[in-house]
Structure 1
Amino acid sequence: MQRITGQLTLKRGREKSVLNRHPWLFSGAIGRVEGKPQSGDLVQVLDSNGRFLATGTFNPHSQIRVRLLSWDVDEQIDAAFWNGRLQQAHKHRQQLQLEPATTAYRLVNAEADGLPGLIVDKYGEFLVMQSLTAGIEAQKKTILTAINQIWQPKGIVERSDADVRAKEGLPTIRRVASGEPPPDTLVIQENGILFGVNLLGGHKSGFYLDQRENRTAVCQPQHVANKNVLNVFAYTGGFGLYAIANGAQQVTHVDSSYNALELAEQNVERNGWKRPQDEYLAGDAFDILRHYRDNNQRFDLIVLDPPKFAHSQRDVPYACRGYKDLNWLALQLLTPGGLLATFSCSGLISAELFQKVLFGAAVDANRQVQIIQTLSQGPDHPVLLTFPESAYLKGFLCRVS
């Protein structure tokens, strides 16, 4: 059992977020620290009158000073606790009944599954784990044992290499944590479409699992059949392969990575499609869109799925300018009645703000834009109501005239 090594007393009037069960406690709310808790240790959080509020893991190096785990004073944070939370996440994913058509999806979604800082993704017989906080790092051995017992994978890859690790005072880790190493290219299925993924070297945990439902929604036959599709920030094919599966006439994949585009082309071939008409362009997305605009190139459907633009609050104005410019360029390339599927995965950009940015782009492009569907992350990436930050992916499917 992990021992509680300290007590944190909040400043007067700063207990609201804890009472509302938000799992983050920032340093500015803390009035006094008793004991000598180290990074990753368990601490109790008390209100200004000394009453118990919650238990969580401490990190003196992070602005998020405590990641809250339990609001029950009697709950023990031990191996049974971690196993119970993982078992609950396992049960919830089983209820989705994604297999056998889909063999890659999220098993544990950090705070939204009551496990702040822990992400576990399934890729066929292999799992990818991310330890993103000091609290998870301190209990990683216990957690790995439980993960192996519950899911019994062939191997577990650890991809603890996200930027947030530096803010937690933790080093980057990329390794095979247990079992067998995965093949260099592991083939998974998503809604029956085959994708090759690189678990040790790919983006995130290897693939953008959170876009699964959106790929289906955007690339329905009525949207893509016999259409000319531009897939921007294509990575390893994603939306483009769904468009091909549903009858797209021609697909242009744009990404900054030659290696990702090479894998995208292999994924097309992997599914038995022969597509000499498709294009794969490596380069800066903004430059390529400007080139298309200047040469009067037009598309029937454009997908914009950029990486995170806002990593901190100070990045938000810059991110909004980037999103606006990107969408402004895309809107100029659409045929009348064409469709734009546009996304932001920046958690600091709300859906409301993203819609305002899109509005500004539409005005500047002099295009009439209707939102015909709002889009978000899949059900294996649940959103916890007490943690609105877990609703990070937002998108709009728009008709443009």
Structure 2
Amino acid sequence: MSIREIRLPADLKPALLSGHPWIYRDHIPPNTYLKNGSWVRVSAGNVAAYGIWDAHGPIAVRLFSRHTIPDIAWVEARVREAWDVRAPLRARGDTNAYRWLYGESDGLPGIVVDLYDRHAILRTYTDSVRKLVPWVVAALRRVAPVDGIAERQEDEFGEPRWHVHWGQRPPDELVVLENGWHMYANLLHGQKTGLFLDQRENRRELMRWCGGKRVLNCFAYNGGFSLAAALGGARFVESVDVAANALEDARRTFALNGLDPDAHAFTRADVFDLLEQYAREGRTFDVVVLDPPSFARSKNQRHKAIRAYTRLNALALNLIPPGGLLVSSSCTAQVSHADFLNMLATAAAKAGRRLRILHDAGQPLDHPVPPHFPEGRYLKFVIAHVADVA
């Protein structure tokens, strides 16, 4: 096979040697033009790697192997390796929805596969890797018993539809098992591929902090954190989201797990507006959970995102009396863990409060982070004790 060679700056040698999977376009020699999806060999000094050329985005090359152009056997080895890494999660027996393949972290940049019971839902983040999809599908079939492999796509009107790569078409909605409780996963119309699977262990952690508490869950989506709080013994949980259908799913999820949804509240509102309103009214909660959507999609939005997080957390702290808990999370990759902690300190100062971090976590084992790819760690999750300024 004829393959294009690209010489990179020598100072990229350590990154190539460590296995970092991205080469940004500003490191590519000028006037380099290739067909999207072409295999290329890049080198810096005496270190080389093989990757796929992306003709459009800021990442010009996604690297796959130091040694060879991948073939179907190489792809299957990555899929099997990822399956084996998740064996401890399957061994628990209390969860059947998780991320099987996490792109760069599992050696297949730009490709994600989530497993919901026996349905594998595939997603790609760039067209340049589309040519690998048939190999990934074949590997999924060989590695584990699945009923179907599908991908959510959009029709000509922008509406979601299923493209079935193999086997059964997945149901639009499915009840899955997470941490021993049941959850509705809206596979066709929901966020991500149906659930925010990366917060699974954080939901389980929240359970043990909520016994007898009044809990406010902001950006509740389909009520995962709300369910965890209620199953953990919270005496009252209010779930807030701007989407009515998400709140209806949350109510249904409570009922599915033997909880009376009418004993709790499901409030459709803008979270920022509601927090300000509750502060004016003097309402308080023992625990406030903040799990907002990403506030930054690119590096140039980072400062704006930090300002939004600061305002949000300061507003929440106004509702938490001394001795209460702030549970704060961020899925914004452009905001580092250090940035997030600094933001919490600033928000506490604005609200006239002191915070002590009792629990600090990131992603679960099905979202692993290689040390050579820190960009793979995006999730921050903190449980902090709230006190007045001494």
User: 1:340-365 CA distances to partner (integer Å, 9 max, x unpaired)?
Assistant: 11011011100100111111100010
- Offset of residue 4 of structure 1: 5.0
Paired position in structure 1 for 2:167: 179
Amino acid at match of 1:29: H
User: 1:290-341 CA distances to partner (integer Å, 9 max, x unpaired)?
Assistant: 1111111100011100111110011101100110010000000012200111
1:38 counterpart = 2:38: no
Paired position in structure 2 for 1:164: none
Q: 1:321 aligns with which of 286, 307, 310?
A: 307
Gaps of 5+ in 2: none
Amino acid at match of 2:49: A
SS in 2 for 1:186: strand
SS in 2 for 1:85: helix
Q: 1:59 aligns with which of 46, 54, 58?
A: 54
- Answer yes or no: is the 8 Å Cα contact 1:157–1:200 preserved in 2: no
Distance of 1:315 and 1:12 partners within structure 2? 30
Distance of 2:48 and 2:234 partners within structure 1? 55
Q: 2:241 aligns with which of 251, 255, 263?
A: 255
- Offset of residue 200 of structure 1: 1.1
- Answer yes or no: is the 8 Å Cα contact 2:329–2:381 preserved in 1: yes
Residues matched between the structures, number: 383
Amino acid at match of 1:71: R
Amino acid at match of 1:395: F
- Offset of residue 99 of structure 1: 4.7
Paired position in structure 2 for 1:238: 224
- Answer yes or no: is the 8 Å Cα contact 1:232–1:305 preserved in 2: yes
Distance of 2:252 and 2:49 partners within structure 1? 50
- The alpha-carbon distance between structure 1 residues 186 and 37, as it changes in their structure 2 partners (threshold 3 A), is same
Gaps of 5+ in 1: 162-170
- Answer yes or no: is the 8 Å Cα contact 2:90–2:96 preserved in 1: no
Paired position in structure 2 for 1:155: 148
Percent of residue pairs bearing the same amino acid type: 37
1:18 counterpart = 2:4: no
Amino acid at match of 1:122: L
Give the TM-score taking structure 2 as reference length.
0.94
- Answer yes or no: is the 8 Å Cα contact 1:6–1:33 preserved in 2: no
Paired position in structure 2 for 1:289: 275
- Offset of residue 37 of structure 1: 3.5
1:218 counterpart = 2:213: no
1:130 counterpart = 2:123: yes
Paired position in structure 2 for 1:168: none
1:362 counterpart = 2:357: no
Amino acid at match of 1:129: L
Distance of 2:309 and 2:30 partners within structure 1? 42
Distance of 1:249 and 1:312 partners within structure 2? 40
- What RMSD, in angstroms, separates the aligned Cα atoms of the two structures? 1.9
- Offset of residue 12 of structure 1: 4.4
- Offset of residue 92 of structure 1: 0.9
- Answer yes or no: is the 8 Å Cα contact 1:131–1:160 preserved in 2: no
Amino acid at match of 1:59: D
Distance of 2:370 and 2:93 partners within structure 1? 27
Q: 1:110 aligns with which of 103, 117, 121?
A: 103
SS in 1 for 2:3: strand
1:143 counterpart = 2:136: yes
- Answer yes or no: is the 8 Å Cα contact 1:56–1:68 preserved in 2: yes
User: 1:354-398 CA distances to partner (integer Å, 9 max, x unpaired)?
Assistant: 111111100010011111111111111101110001111012110
Give the TM-score taking structure 1 as reference length.
0.91
